Amino acid sequence: WVRAFAGNIGFSNILHAELLTMYHGLNLAWELDIKDMICYSDSKTAINLIEKPINEWHHFAAILHNIKDLLAMDWRVTVVHTLREGNACADYLAKLGARNVEVFSLLATLPVGIKLFLLADASGSWFTR
């Protein structure tokens, strides 16, 4: 555990939420001086948009540019797809954010409800699909 964040983006769609989460996560990692990391996402669509040239008319072009700018900085980040079942911590934080009134809240302490998910991840637990 290092840090996490949660927030309420209001009425939007899942792709917007995935891209904002990726942007905020990468930005936080950079600010914490984490220079070698793997960024997991359960959204193949988000990963494809990041890996390909940006369509300037895309609805989320500005966020995509921000993510690509972060990825181009002097560090090593690998963006990897994971199944939703392997992303329980992110799912927990998304649900926590949906109940939050703030758009972005930095979590310096471990939320009680996420401890079992982190333990399962650290022990290499497998989840059925």
Is 78 contained in some domain? yes
Is 29 contained in some domain? yes
Residues 81/47, Cβ–Cβ less than 8 Å:
yes
Residues 42/84, Cβ–Cβ less than 8 Å:
yes
Is 114 contained in some domain? no
Query: Which residues span the domain enclosing 29?
Result: 4-108
Is 80 contained in some domain? yes
Residues 20/9, Cβ–Cβ less than 8 Å:
yes
Is 49 contained in some domain? yes
Residues 64/49, Cβ–Cβ less than 8 Å:
yes
The number of folded domains in the chain is: 1
Percent of the chain with pLDDT over 90: 51
Is 88 contained in some domain? yes
* Domain CATH for 103: 3.30.420.10
Is 129 contained in some domain? no
Give the pLDDT confidence score for residue 72 in this predicted structure. 97
Q: pLDDT confidence of 128, banded at 50, 70, 90?
A: low
Q: pTM of the full predicted structure?
A: 0.84
Give the pLDDT confidence score for residue 34 in this predicted structure. 96
Q: pLDDT confidence of 54, banded at 50, 70, 90?
A: very high
Is 125 contained in some domain? no
Q: DSSP letter at 12?
A: -
